Every structure is written in structure tokens, then in C-alpha cells.
Amino acid sequence: MTPSKTPMPLGAALAGIPSGIRATGPWAGRRQLFVKFAGVAETATMYTADALRTELARLAQRSVYHSIAIAGGDPLGEIDFLAAAFEGGSPLSVMLDHDGQRPEALDRVIGSFALVQVTMSGAEDDATLQRALSTLRRAAEKQVAHALALVTEADPSDGRLLRIVEQARGASTDTSVVVHPTTESLSGDRRWLAWIERAAAVHGDVRLLPRLPAPTGMR
């Protein structure tokens, strides 16, 4: 009888577990630990799910953090790893910050998250936007807090941003929408003062916030 093989431990390539201040979304300004999945050309270290849990517990004991942010790369592309690492609980509240492009994968791990954040530029095509909206709907169905962070690097039109706010509200009336304009200061900017007035009439939970610069705002 051939002996059964011991399964290999699940692993993923991470660009580290840095600490920093959340730059975007409703938790902006909070001190976090970032579980940062490695992107293309980033230096990566392989972590098993067990090693990640152990390291997060160690770091959470050494200093005070508000939460853990899962970000970078394509985190839901590593769904087995995330499930193994977080389904058993975590020393801190956990948020997922991603592009919202794998709504079908979210169900498996959504119970581990305190916040599901979809981050977009506002210039995405309609198919990309629709998948992101599906992610917000799934989070709402599971009664998990959810947010849309619009980091307007491509400077989309005011009308385009307003339509996205309308569609986010259509996906879930509980969506927290946070818009981070490219302008360095919102003080006295008539464009954004006029825009937020229109947006607030469309959706009750929409706000404007300057984006914190990196590396303080690492995400």
C-alpha cells in the first residue's frame, strides 16, 4: 500500500508585513499592519499560512494597531491561503483592500473580514465597475461593512464620479463612499465643494478626504 503524502503547507508571496497609516477609505488615518501581497517586480518572501498567523500575533503584541489590512497584488487570487490564514480568527480586525474583480471568490473568506474595501480610480471600464459593484453587493448580503474608495489619479469628470456614487448606492445603501481627489488641498476648491453637495444629495454616506502620502499611507 502506497503511503499517503503529507500535503504541502499553503504559501503565498508577500512583499512583507509593514506597519503604516491607512491612506484611503473610511479607516483612513488608522495605524495598521499591512499584509501586502507581492506585485510584479516586487521583492517577495514566501509565507505559509501558519507563519503569517504567528507573525501577526507577534507584531500585534509588540505595539498598538487598529487593524490588519490585506492589500497589494491580487489577494483573492490566493483564496486558499487567505482561508487557511484567517478563517480561524485574527488578533485584530481585518480589512480587505482590493480592486473588487473577484466577487465570486469573496464568499469563502468574507466572514473573516470586518471591512471589505474596493479601491478604484474612477476611470475603469463598465465591465470592471460592474464586478466591483457585485463585490459590494456580496458584502452587503453577508452583512459585512463595505466601502468604495475612489482615488482619482486619472482625474475623471465630475459626472462620471457622480454616476459611480449612484451605482454604489444602488449596489448597497450601506456602502461608504470615500473620494480622494488629486488636489493637495480641498480648502477653497469650488469644484469639489460643488461636487460633494451634489453627491450628498444622491447618497447619504459619501465624503471627500485628501489622500495621505506614501510611505505613511502605505497600502
Q: What is the pLDDT of residues 177-201, one digit of tens each?
A: 999 987 665 666 788 889 999 999 9
What are the structural domain ranges in the chain?
A: 11-208
**Considering the entire predicted model, what is its pTM?**
0.91
Cis peptide before 9 (omega within 30 of 0): no
Percent of the chain with pLDDT over 70: 90
Largest Cα–Cα distance of the chain, in whole Å? Answer: 78
Q: Which spans in the chain are helix H?
A: 49-62, 79-86, 103-106, 126-141, 158-171, 190-202
Evaluate the CA torsion angle 138, 141, 146, 151 in order and state its sign: positive
- Mapping DSSP to helix (H, G, I), strand (E, B) and coil, where does residue 177 land? strand
Percent of the chain with pLDDT over 90: 78
| pLDDT tens-digit series, residues 73-100 | 899 999 999 999 998 899 999 999 999 9
CATH superfamily of 11-208: Aldolase class I (3.20.20.70)
Highest mean pLDDT among 132-136, 189-193, 209-213: 132-136
- 21 has pLDDT over 90: yes
| pLDDT tens-digit series, residues 23-39 | 999 999 999 999 999 98
